[in-house]
Structure 1
Amino acid sequence: MQKKVAFYTLGCKLNFSETSTIARQFEEKGFQKTDFQSPADVVVINTCSVTENADKRFKTIVKQARKINSDAFIIGVGCYAQLKPEELAAVNGVDLVLGATEKFKVTDYINDLTKNDFGEVHSCEIDDADFYVGSYSIGDRTRAFLKVQDGCDYKCTYCTIPLARGISRSDTLENVLKNAKEISEQNIKEIVLTGVNIGDYGKGEFGNKKHEHTFLDLVKALETVEGIERLRISSIEPNLLKNETIDFVAASQKFVPHFHIPLQSGSNTLLKQMRRRYMRELYVDRVNRIKQQLPDACIGVDVIVGFPGETDELFLETYNFLVDLDISYLHVFTYSERDNTLAAEMEGAVSLKTRKKRSKMLRGLSAKKRRAFYESQLGSTHEVLFEGENKEGYIHGFTENYVKIKFPWNPYLVNTLQQVTLTEIAEDGLVKAQLVSVPSEV
């Protein structure tokens, strides 16, 4: 019988692109990919270690996998697997743990699927993670995540990602375009560019720091790929989001008016403590430039609450800064101490109770910002890419500027781009819409 493999991905879009690539490797070896909720011979869990909660989730996922099939051969890969391989290996039921350089060779390690008493570890020193493996996700949704860069040379004091993924390095422009073409041949309408620090694109393989191409070269080249209707830039650092890129997106026929720009704090005092590479004044400049060129652009913001030394006054500095900023939504992260980071040793620890309170305040602000942005778009016409799931009688999709739409379910709309007029905000906070012209199949 054909062996089955299931996957579970924790964390970011980059992880999703890499899981999809690993899944294709299994399929090439004769495995049948199955849903995580179904019995499988092998279960691969792609881990995250951005927060303490992500670490805890791994144990929960392993328990779920063992409930579905107690004999499943369970493999942990990803950031947590690189940072704390022995900790993962000690989780009851885990058979194999692969670090940063080994995860793309996972099929080489599974000749024998006999359960182990203790997880076997194959990891590396992170300095050895100096080569690049391209990835992209297809088959899971109407959008594809295309990895263009990996690793990070920044030394933010709270972050473990350089320890988990190594130095900044990029795919070749030629290979990115080849992968984009393969995605377009799968009838996928939208590509989301992803990486650890994608604005740093251009640093070569094997620690070669020569910039062969810039991020602007990359977006210009991707604009020419036939068959892709939309291109979306995922998270990009404010100091690396140049005027030229904003201007190009504003004039582009394919790149959509949606930017996600990490801020982390609205206090210059804390930005210095975090070792970020900009001050808040630069952030304001980036937002203003985008809104000047693209008034309807959606701008998302990452922000951390509870960083060591964040007094009530400094938190309110961030809160008020965000209130005044013309942004569309927040991703709020509650600071958690990570081993081997400078921030974990800093004085001025913020109590967990205060961290939660501040997080709740910013999530409330995010809801207000999102609703205000959605309200500003009512009555206007946008293009929606409809997704494939029937959710309680509705089909969902996103406009080019990232307004989430709900529309009465119709299978003919799946994976199609439709012109719609935004009419009202529903009780669940999503936006209702009317089709501008009804396709003949609908």
Structure 2
Amino acid sequence: MENRKKVAFYTLGCKLNFSETSTIARNLQDEGFDRVDFEEVADMYVINTCSVTENADKQFKQVVRKAMKLNDKAFVAAVGCYAQLKPEELASVDGVDLVLGATEKFKLADYINDLSKNDFGKVHSCEIAEADFYVGSYSIGDRTRAFLKVQDGCDYKCTYCTIPLARGISRSDELENVLKNASEISKQNIKEIVLTGVNIGDYGKGEFGNKKHEHTFLELVQELDKVEGIERLRISSIEPNLLKNETIEFVSKSRTFVPHFHIPLQSGSNDILKLMKRRYQREVYTERVNKIREVMPHACIGVDVIVGFPGETDEHFLETYHFLNEMNISYLHVFTYSERDNTEAAAMEGVVPANVRAKRSKMLRGLSVKKRRAFYESQLGTNRTVLFESENKEGYIHGFTENYVKVKTPWNPELVNTLHDINLTKIDEDGSVRMVFITALV
């Protein structure tokens, strides 16, 4: 047992990356590695990269430096989206030994020998057209909830996005395999599963570019709702044009799916949506929000929005601001547009100055605070169910209700990963909600 090597992981980016990191880690554990925290000295550090924002690129170099400080003789491998898009750039970062692209990342064990440092980072990447097969994955043991990957890649051609270049065509896991993975997760005493993918509403497309849908997203949701042992299922980000009324209605009556939707908008201006090559107009977005509110008035609705896209005038931005201000939503994820190589938007006219982008971002972040506060206030006095997380934050334990209200109560380790009926009483200074217990559930 003394010969087992230690491996540590660092994940940048989305829930999908977390699910894939966890799967790669389990694969390496099967190959004789012991997983340790990234803060510890390890023989190998694996960094799962992201390329969605400029900051994610910069973060990569910081994470490599951190690993080298912990152990300058450690083997460093980079995988993920940035590794697919710019493998040579990553390989040139001091300390990096191996870079694996989209098709190679799940075969990490095949590319490592004695973990000796390389003079230069070695690259094994593919043409993205070769990423036409599906590898299922899910996270487990990292948190009180699991991220279950059901779909990968994207066939959309949004002008700002590099994801199709980094992950390839849209393809899905087989329904039977998703259900098997969900069942495995449920047996690990994990109370909540979050469905994740690049474009999960497009679920059902097979491998090798087969555009035929074997199953629909609605069928996936219906079958997952029957899996025994799962307390909660949460849908992560889903495109408004793919979130059908039938799915919304099913969630409103379902046993396990919670009333929480995260729906990307990106812009409240139809002119900008057209430039972005989004597949809907703002009227469709309004219809989706209204439908959710009709059948689930207490639902939490999160929104992705991009500011500073090329061609976005002050008038376009104010159109977005007023659209969001008037809509009954719960919070915003605000992204400041950043130019990405090999995207249409990078060559567009009407570049918005950085200081203007920053100002618009600040305005929408302020609106998000206001929206979240109003949503939390609307929930005061109601009875909800909370799932507590595992971290002790300054003497408090936090958790989330089914409709994503963040609650807090004094730290008690016995509450970790347990569900409780509670009453929401008041909003604290830090923005979370105080609560009183009604009954313990699990």
Q: Give the structure-2-normalised TM-score.
A: 0.99
**Are 2:389 and 1:356 equivalent residues in the alignment?**
no
Cα pair 2:301 2:329 within 8 Å, conserved: yes
Larger displacement relative to structure 2 (202-211 or 231-240): 202-211
SS at match of 2:263: strand
SS at match of 1:396: strand
Question: Hey, what does 2:242 align to over in structure 1?
Answer: 240
Q: Give the deviation of 1:438 after TM superposition.
A: 5.8
Write the distance in 1 (CA, Å) between the matches of 2:430 and 2:437: 20
**Are 2:268 and 1:266 equivalent residues in the alignment?**
yes
Cα pair 2:383 2:424 within 8 Å, conserved: yes
Q: Give the deviation of 1:210 after TM superposition.
A: 1.6
Write the distance in 1 (CA, Å) between the matches of 2:314 and 2:428: 35
**Are 2:23 and 1:21 equivalent residues in the alignment?**
yes
Q: Give the deviation of 1:389 after TM superposition.
A: 1.2
Question: Hey, what does 2:47 align to over in structure 1?
Answer: 45
SS at match of 2:318: helix
Aligned with residue 278 of structure 1, among 280, 305, 316:
280
**Are 2:69 and 1:34 equivalent residues in the alignment?**
no
Write the distance in 1 (CA, Å) between the matches of 2:99 and 2:345: 28
Letter in 2 for 1:347: E
Letter in 2 for 1:307: F
Q: What pairs up with 1:135-150 in 2 under 5 angstroms?
A: 135-150=137-152
Q: Give the deviation of 1:253 after TM superposition.
A: 1.4
Write the distance in 2 (CA, Å) between the matches of 1:76 and 1:68: 17
Cα pair 2:421 2:440 within 8 Å, conserved: no
Letter in 1 for 2:284: L
- 1:232-257: CA deviations, max 9, x gaps? 00000000000000000001110000
Aligned with residue 194 of structure 2, among 181, 192, 195:
192
- Shift in CA distance, 438/122, structure 1 to aligned 2, threshold 3 Å: closer
Q: What pairs up with 1:6-155 in 2 under 5 angstroms?
A: 6-155=8-157
Letter in 2 for 1:140: D
Q: Give the deviation of 1:410 after TM superposition.
A: 1.1
SS at match of 1:133: coil
**Are 2:302 and 1:300 equivalent residues in the alignment?**
yes
CA RMSD of aligned residues (A): 0.9
Write the distance in 1 (CA, Å) between the matches of 2:118 and 2:336: 36
SS at match of 2:390: coil
Write the distance in 2 (CA, Å) between the matches of 1:20 and 1:437: 34
Instruction: Indicate the percent of aligned positions where both proteins have the same amino acid.
Output: 77
Q: Give the deviation of 1:208 after TM superposition.
A: 1.5
Write the distance in 2 (CA, Å) between the matches of 1:250 and 1:352: 42
- 1:249-282: CA deviations, max 9, x gaps? 0011100000000000000000000000000000
SS at match of 1:437: strand
Write the distance in 2 (CA, Å) between the matches of 1:273 and 1:400: 36
Letter in 1 for 2:404: Y
Letter in 2 for 1:194: T
Write the distance in 2 (CA, Å) between the matches of 1:79 and 1:249: 32
- 1:268-320: CA deviations, max 9, x gaps? 00000000000000000000000000000000000000000001111000000
SS at match of 2:214: coil
Letter in 2 for 1:4: K
Question: Hey, what does 1:162 align to over in structure 2?
Answer: 164
Letter in 1 for 2:206: G
Aligned with residue 367 of structure 2, among 365, 368, 374:
365
Question: Hey, what does 1:418 align to over in structure 2?
Answer: 420
Uncovered stretches (5+) of structure 2, i.e. residues with no partner: none
Write the distance in 1 (CA, Å) between the matches of 2:194 and 2:216: 18
Aligned with residue 378 of structure 1, among 357, 377, 380:
380
Write the distance in 2 (CA, Å) between the matches of 1:179 and 1:11: 23
Q: Which runs of 4 or more aligned residues in structure 1 lie more than 2 Å from their structure 2 counterparts after TM superposition?
A: none
Letter in 1 for 2:242: L
Write the distance in 2 (CA, Å) between the matches of 1:275 and 1:342: 10
Write the distance in 1 (CA, Å) between the matches of 2:352 and 2:120: 37
SS at match of 1:388: strand
Q: Give the deviation of 1:392 after TM superposition.
A: 1.0
Instruction: Give the count of matched residue pairs.
Output: 440
Q: Give the deviation of 1:388 after TM superposition.
A: 1.1
SS at match of 1:216: helix
Q: Give the deviation of 1:112 after TM superposition.
A: 2.4
Write the distance in 2 (CA, Å) between the matches of 1:438 and 1:243: 34
Question: Hey, what does 1:347 align to over in structure 2?
Answer: 349
Q: Give the deviation of 1:437 after TM superposition.
A: 2.6
Question: Hey, what does 1:172 align to over in structure 2?
Answer: 174
Question: Hey, what does 1:207 align to over in structure 2?
Answer: 209
Aligned with residue 327 of structure 1, among 326, 329, 332:
329
